[in-house]
Amino acid sequence: MKTNVGGLDRTLRILAGTVLVALAATGTVGLWGWIGVVPLATGMIGWCPPYALFGWNTCAVKSGG
C-alpha cells in the first residue's frame, strides 16, 4: 500500500475520528458515532481505499531529480 493521505488530511481524519468515537463511547451520540473508526484508521494508516480507487492523493509531491 502506498500512502495516499497527506499531513493535514491525516490530522483532520484522526481528530474527527477521535471526537466521533469519544462521543459514541460516552453515549452523547448514537451508534452512528462509531463510524469515526473509519477516518481514525485511515488517518493513522495513511491510506484511504476510495482515494486509491479514484487515483487521488493528498500527500506532498516529491520533486524528482
pLDDT score at 44: 96
DSSP assignment string, the chain: ------HHHHHHHHHHHHHHHHHHHTTSS-GGGGGGHHHHHHHHHT--HHHHHHT---SPPPPP-
Domain ranges of the chain: 17-54
User: What is the C-alpha to C-alpha distance for residues 39 and 44, in angstroms, rounded to an integer?
Assistant: 8
Mean pLDDT by 10 residues, the chain (65 residues): 92 98 96 96 95 92 57
pLDDT score at 2: 87
Burial class (CB in 10 A: 0-12, 13-18, 19+), 41: middle
pLDDT score at 51: 94
Q: Residue 5 is placed in which grid cell?
A: 493521505
